[in-house]
Amino acid sequence: MSWHEQGSTPPFRWAFLSSSGVKLELGYRMDLLVEDLVIVEIKSVEAVSPVHQAQILSYLKLSGKSIGLLINFNVVHLKGRD
């Protein structure tokens, strides 16, 4: 049975980053925040570039979170970085 069928809320939310209670511009909007612990940034690009890595590092720093996932769906196999 899904969380929706159970009448509960999903374990993720779309979140806006803020600093000192001030909402930041839309350029600083993470894709997903799971269980208020993990930032998930979703891409569909030919290759993950340093700017994508800097983006999630900025989100981690601004949010005070320590776990982030950068997922690129424009690949044949999803795999972790060694």
DSSP string, 22-68: EEPPGGGEEEEEETTTEEEEEE--SS--HHHHHHHHHHHHHHT--EE
**Closest CA relative to residue 38, chosen from 20, 64, 58:** 64
In a domain, 4, yes or no: no
Per-residue model confidence (pLDDT) at position 19: 47
Rounded to two decimals, what is the model's pTM? 0.65
In a domain, 40, yes or no: yes
In a domain, 5, yes or no: no
Per-residue model confidence (pLDDT) at position 1: 55
Per-residue model confidence (pLDDT) at position 53: 94
In a domain, 30, yes or no: yes
In a domain, 35, yes or no: yes
Per-residue model confidence (pLDDT) at position 5: 67
Over the chain (82 residues), what is each successive 10-residue block's mean pLDDT? 60 53 60 87 91 92 90 81 64
CA pair distance 61, 80, nearest whole angstrom: 22
Q: Does residue 73 sit in helix, strand or coil? A: coil
Domain ranges, residue 42? 12-72
